[in-house]
């Protein structure tokens, strides 16, 4: 799959519904300390809740610890933002190694996503786009608009050994496996394989 497709993510969420509900109950029963480290802070529009649940599942299946506010901190009231809830989100951003923005048609309506991006970009610069397309057959490469062009994007593709991995991509010849990017923040340039063709 070149980029993430909305139907794929919704199906993944449906297929893993029981597992997800069990995990959500665990988070509801105990508050996770603010100092808890996450690999990924998944920034998104709540209008994409079903797709985000699928993304959460996909990313955790790859072995990453993922923060999604309404999953990890279900006590937060999204309709009533207070200074303390904003501070909690800020703490979660600080405690996350990377920020992934789930970019969809609904993302432009989110008030939180630009704030989260600005905060992380100004502090760690470990930000990337994870495009979610409504198209049945999404294009192979993300073509962002405006300021999103400043950031690399995430794509799932097989390694040369045939195992699916997440890749952080700047362009067709500049990319790195997501795990390496988390550790050192660098993207390898002038690579031989055009990753758009994979």
Q: What is the pLDDT of residue 141?
A: 57
Q: What is the pLDDT of residue 38?
A: 96
**pTM across the whole model:** 0.89
pLDDT band for position 181 (cuts 50, 70, 90): very high
pLDDT band for position 135 (cuts 50, 70, 90): confident
Q: What is the pLDDT of residue 143?
A: 64
pLDDT at 164 over 80: yes
- Across the range 18-24, mean pLDDT stands at 75
Which residue has better confidence, 19 or 96?
96
pLDDT at 1 over 70: no
Half-sphere exposure of 106 (CA within 13 A, CB side): 15
pLDDT at 27 over 50: yes
pLDDT at 170 over 80: yes
Task: Locate the domains of the chain by residue range.
Answer: 4-143
Which tens digit of pLDDT belongs to each residue from 59-75? 999 999 999 998 899 88
- The neighbouring-strand residues paired with 198 are none
pLDDT band for position 25 (cuts 50, 70, 90): confident
User: Which residues, 6 or more positions from 95, have their beta carbon under 8 angstroms from its beta carbon?
Assistant: 34, 35, 36, 37, 38, 67
Cβ contact 52:28 at 8 Å: no
Q: Report residue 134 as tokens.
A: 């409504």
pLDDT at 186 over 70: yes
The CATH architecture to which 4-143 belongs is 3-Layer(aba) Sandwich (3.40)
pLDDT at 193 over 60: yes
Summary mean pLDDT of the chain: 86
User: Which residues, 6 or more positions from 176, have their beta carbon under 8 angstroms from its beta carbon?
Assistant: 167, 168, 186, 187, 188
């Amino acid at each position: 799959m070149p980029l993430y497709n909305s139907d794929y993510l919704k199906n993944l969420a449906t297929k893993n519904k029981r597992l997800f509900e069990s995990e959500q109950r665990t988070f509801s029963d105990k508050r996770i300390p603010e100092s808890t480290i996450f690999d990924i802070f998944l920034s998104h529009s709540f209008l994409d809740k079903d797709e985000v649940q699928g993304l959460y599942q996909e990313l955790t299946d790859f072995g990453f610890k993922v923060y999604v506010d309404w999953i990890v901190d279900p006590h937060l009231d999204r309709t009533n933002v207070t200074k303390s809830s904003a501070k909690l989100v800020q703490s979660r951003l600080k405690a996350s190694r990377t920020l992934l923005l789930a970019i969809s048609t609904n993302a432009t309506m989110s008030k939180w996503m630009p704030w989260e991006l600005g905060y992380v970009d100004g502090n760690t610069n470990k930000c990337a786009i994870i495009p979610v397309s409504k198209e049945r057959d999404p294009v192979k490469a993300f073509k962002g608009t405006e300021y999103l062009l400043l950031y690399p994007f995430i794509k799932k593709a097989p390694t040369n050994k045939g195992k699916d991995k997440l890749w952080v991509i700047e362009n067709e010849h500049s990319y790195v496996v997501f795990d390496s990017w988390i550790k050192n923040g660098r993207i390898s340039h002038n690579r031989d394989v055009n990753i758009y063709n994979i």
